[in-house]
Amino acid sequence: MSKEASHLLAISGYVLSLIVLAIMFFNKNLIIPKGYELSVDGMVISNTLILISFFYLLSKLGVFIYNSKTKQD
């Protein structure tokens, strides 16, 4: 596998994870199981965990792109 192909595969993995997290954040029905519609505390905790994961992956993506750009120069 060439270096460009592995770089593209890594970036697409980060982007796909970010898209899934964004969909889960905006579609509340995906994170609440049946029968727990009145569980407000669980929704707050799950939204917080989704946001933390989103920003963590976003920062890792930025560091990965920055490191790959500095290695090319």
Question: Taking a C-beta distance cutoff of 8 angstroms, is the pair 5, 20 a contact?
Answer: no
Domain ranges across the chain: 3-72
Among 69, 32, 67, smallest CA distance to 47 is for: 32
Token pair listed for 44: 């707050």
Q: What is the pLDDT of residues 41-60, one digit of tens each?
A: 778 888 899 999 999 999 99
Least confident of 10-24, 27-41, 50-64: 27-41
pTM above 0.85, yes or no: no
% of the chain beyond a pLDDT of 70: 93
Query: Could you give the CA distance from residue 19 to residue 29 in angstroms, rounded to a whole number?
Result: 16
